[in-house]
Amino acid sequence: MAGPQPKHPNDHDSASHLSLGTPPKQFLALDGIPILIHSLRAFAAVERVTSIYVAVRKPEIERVEAQVSEYGFTGKVHVVEGGDNRQESVAHALAAVPAGADDIILVHDAVRPLIDAATIERTIDAVREHGAAIVGLPAVDTIKQVERTAHGALITATLPRESIVQAQTPQGFRFELLQKAFAEATADGFVGTDEASVVERAGLSVAVVPGSQVNLKITQPGDLELAEFYLRQRAR
């Protein structure tokens, strides 16, 4: 996730990123380098990202801190203890970020290692304009809404593809806006599927920045092979 820490007290044209750790997937190697490190490098290369917070489970903290040191991120990357779910992990990171009301927070999945600088920059720009923005990929397949039954599922509606996007990360927000939405969700016992859902619940609009198939989330073995292919293509 990103929590901004301005370079100067009044410089709000900056943002910081906090990648949300997932179990062992973030430690898998992509081209010989941990997936997490690829994600950190992507954000560290963007000048407007001034600090990075990595939320991980307590047993993983020492391992992540060792990787942060090994790959030269000491100083810019901070490791914090995560929670039992994504929302708790983001909340812990928010509490650690010394941000101002207008600073920009970017939240990113650690297992999306191929995020590019241009998309990060566009997300920051969209947050500056709208207050909240996520990266989204237009739906290609026909989307069916279903009702789950004991024997499977029954289609209840066909959703128009032009009105559907698949949410990716980073997801960005003004610090004060995200902090307030999280506080309201916690008070009401609401747990969202992502940060945007928490902000939407607070009645706020969220803009969409065009995403890419390359910005894939590594969740299965085949995803790792595909990421390696994209990485080789990028290197050409």
pLDDT digits (tens, 9 = 90+) for 59-102: 999 999 999 999 999 888 999 999 999 999 999 999 999 878 78
**Residue 16: band (very low, low, confident or very high) from pLDDT cuts 50, 70, 90:** very low
**Residue 229: band (very low, low, confident or very high) from pLDDT cuts 50, 70, 90:** very high
What confidence score (pLDDT) does residue 3 get?
42
**Residue 13: band (very low, low, confident or very high) from pLDDT cuts 50, 70, 90:** very low
Asked if pLDDT for residue 46 goes beyond 50, the answer is yes
**Residue 25: band (very low, low, confident or very high) from pLDDT cuts 50, 70, 90:** confident
Q: Give me the residue spans of the domains in the chain.
A: 15-235
Q: What percent of the chain has pLDDT over 70?
A: 90
Q: Which CATH architecture has domain 15-235?
A: Alpha-Beta Complex (3.90)
**Residue 221: band (very low, low, confident or very high) from pLDDT cuts 50, 70, 90:** confident
SS3 of the chain: the string is CCCCCCCCCCCCCCEEEEEECCCHHHHCEECCEEHHHHHHHHHHCCCCEEEEEEEECHHHHHHHHHHHHHCCCECCEEEEECCCCHHHHHHHHHHHCCCCCCCEEEEEECCCCCCCHHHHHHHHHHHHHHCEEEEEEECCCCEEEEEEECCEEEEEEEECHHHCEEEEEEEEEEHHHHHHHHHHHHHHCCCCCCHHHHHHHCCCCCEEEECCCCCCCCCCHHHHHHHHHHHHHHHC
Q: Once rounded to an integer, what is the mean pLDDT over residues 21-25?
A: 50
